[in-house]
């Protein structure tokens, strides 16, 4: 066991798979009681040595026991992070700072698929995974619009949690053998979305130095009118559960979380898209993230971003019929009420248009929603950043694993962390001779990028930079190859359409 003295006190870690693990370290004060919905405050100091051998609680959310990644204990007291390091010495290793996904309403820093010991030990990096507030507690419902001064700073506090954790890294990671001047933020789905949000925020300058966005969910903030509408609907669901707006400070957390689920069921996949979302509140997020990035806000930050070929097969099923344009058009009426746009999309995503595309896409309805929720946003992020930063790189996971039904949403996480043997996602991938080579390719590229801002490694063909109009994209499979402007007609169909 090893004791490290950080700003708030001593922490005792444990040996863990060739690395040292320091788990459940508080990076901010517990956001409970009068701190509910408030921006994070500095952690409370402690005397003596704190045991850091077990995870802290995950953020309050609907329990998903037995799911692909069970996050264990749930609590509003959730502002903890975990550190894995090869050694607490003076080596100043690259730091890889992981932001978990889960739609900003689920997930946690203790997920088995993102367990950091193998990545740290195998590649001599320091891995940090961070928990942050979700749903209404994370300020992704616009409570600031209520007539209550105590809620005036409640918007997007989950993003402020992530910033607080980055500040903790800046102040403390050197004591764990890490380099505070070489910090890569990386995340998947809403974690990838968070990466884009942080890149767009001036407060992050100097705290992050590279960024990896894996299957980033729509990197766009809710406009105020939409956020107000969703607040009204949330309060209606809360009222149906017997909780009035005036009681939101004292209501049981499970009631507030349940109302978030009610809101999602009402609006998800509809005209509004995902209802739990960062908000263009004018304080934490002052510009649309892609507008800020497109204006050069993150010009000094190398970016690696991409998506998986079969993102939403688990959501929509692999056996969705190969719809023709004519049959697909009615399916698009709800998410795309503009008949001109719906007609254009039906033509772009009908079975006729998808026939012969390379890489081979999923079924039309599945591909449409995967593009809508992930790929188009990722490409827009790449387009915005590549205008200012030459070290911008794109990938698509186009791999057929031994057991799973294609390159699914989340599929790359156990490959990045080398957790295929310990996580449920790894078991979904299956076991076979192609798994270890695929893991080695992805890990090598991600770590090379964290070290230098360039993912080129001997295990892959030459990886050109992403720039328009060529849009070079590394297709990560058993035989990796570089493609140009993947699925261009489908991308072009989204021109002028807000996600």
DSSP count for the chain of H helices, then E strands: 16, 15
- How far is 121 from 107, CA to CA, in rounded Å? 24
Instruction: Establish whether 274 is a catalytic residue.
Output: no
Q: Which two tokens stand for residue 334?
A: 């709800």
> Is the Cα torsion angle 109, 114, 118, 123 positive or negative in sign?
negative
Q: Comparing C-alpha atoms, which of 95, 64, 277 is closest to residue 170?
A: 95
26 to 34, 51, 135, 256: CA distances (angstroms):
18, 11, 20, 24
C-beta separation of 263 from 231 below 8 A = no
- Residues counted in the chain: 499
CB count in 10 Å sphere of residue 271: 11
Q: Which two tokens stand for residue 482?
A: 């570089």
C-beta separation of 251 from 411 below 8 A = no
C-beta separation of 75 from 109 below 8 A = no
Residue 51 in 3-state DSSP?
A: strand
- How far is 445 from 435, CA to CA, in rounded Å? 16
- How far is 423 from 140, CA to CA, in rounded Å? 29
Torsions phi, psi of 482, nearest 5? -90, 130
Catalytic residue among 110, 189, 194, 215: 189
- How far is 128 from 148, CA to CA, in rounded Å? 36
- How far is 25 from 399, CA to CA, in rounded Å? 36
CB neighbour list of residue 69: distance below 8 Å, 6 or more residues apart: 107, 111, 112, 113, 423, 424, 425
- How far is 397 from 307, CA to CA, in rounded Å? 6
Buried b (16+ CB within 10 A) or exposed e, 309-346: bbbbbbebeeeeeebebeebbebbeebbeeeebbebbb
Catalytic residue among 76, 111, 174, 311: 311
Cα angle for residues 144, 145, 151 (degrees, 5° grid): 30
Q: Comparing C-alpha atoms, which of 127, 118, 110, 128 is closest to residue 70?
A: 110
Catalytic residue among 110, 209, 409, 412: 409
Residues known to be catalytic: 189, 311, 409
């Amino acid at each position: 066991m090893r004791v490290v003295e950080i700003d708030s006190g001593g922490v005792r870690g444990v040996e863990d798979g060739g690395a040292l693990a320091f788990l459940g370290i508080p990076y901010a004060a517990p956001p409970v009681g009068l701190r509910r919905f408030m921006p994070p405050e500095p952690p409370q100091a402690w005397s003596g040595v704190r045991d850091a051998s077990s995870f802290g609680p995950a953020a309050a959310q609907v329990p998903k026991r037995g799911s692909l990644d069970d996050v264990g204990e749930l609590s509003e007291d959730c502002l903890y992070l975990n550190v894995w390091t090869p050694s607490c010495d003076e080596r100043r290793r690259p730091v890889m700072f992981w932001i978990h996904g889960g739609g900003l309403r689920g997930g946690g820093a203790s997920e088995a698929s993102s367990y950091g010991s193998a990545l740290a030990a195998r590649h001599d990096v320091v891995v940090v995974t961070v928990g942050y507030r979700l749903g209404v507690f994370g300020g992704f419902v616009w409570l600031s619009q209520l007539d209550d001064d105590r809620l005036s700073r409640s918007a997007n506090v989950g993003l402020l949690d992530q910033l607080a954790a980055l500040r903790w890294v800046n102040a403390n990671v050197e004591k764990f053998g890490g380099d505070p001047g070489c910090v890569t933020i990386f995340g998947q789905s809403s974690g990838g979305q968070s990466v884009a949000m942080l890149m767009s925020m001036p407060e992050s300058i100097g705290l992050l130095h590279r960024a990896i966005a894996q299957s980033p969910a729509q990197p766009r903030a809710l406009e105020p009118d939409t956020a107000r509408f969703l607040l009204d609907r949330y309060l209606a669901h809360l009222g149906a559960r017997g909780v009035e707006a005036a009681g939101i400070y004292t209501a049981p957390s499970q009631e507030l979380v349940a109302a978030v689920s009610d809101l999602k069921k009402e609006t998800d996949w509809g005209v509004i898209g995902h209802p739990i979302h960062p908000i263009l509140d004018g304080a934490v997020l002052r510009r649309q993230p892609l507008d800020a990035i497109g204006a050069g806000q993150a010009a000094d930050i190398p970016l690696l971003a991409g998506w998986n070929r079969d993102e939403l097969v688990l959501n929509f099923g692999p056996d969705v019929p190969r719809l023709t344009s004519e049959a697909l058009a009615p399916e698009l009426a709800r998410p795309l009420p503009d008949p001109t746009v719906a007609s254009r999309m039906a033509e772009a995503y009908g079975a006729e248009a998808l026939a012969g595309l390379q890489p081979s896409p999923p079924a039309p309805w599945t591909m449409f929603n995967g593009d809508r929720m992930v790929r188009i946003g990722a490409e827009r992020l790449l387009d915005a950043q590549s205008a200012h930063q030459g070290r911008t790189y794109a990938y698509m996971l186009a791999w057929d694993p031994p057991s799973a039904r294609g390159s699914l949403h989340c599929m790359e996480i156990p490959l990045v962390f080398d957790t295929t043997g310990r996580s449920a996602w790894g078991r979904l991938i299956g076991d076979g001779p192609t798994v270890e080579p695929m893991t080695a390719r992805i890990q090598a590229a991600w770590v090379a990028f964290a070290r230098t801002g360039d993912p080129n490694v001997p295990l892959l063909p030459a990886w050109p930079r992403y720039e328009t109009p060529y849009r070079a994209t590394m297709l990560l499979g058993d035989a990796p190859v570089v493609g140009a402007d993947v699925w261009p007609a489908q991308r072009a169909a989204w021109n002028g359409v807000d996600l």
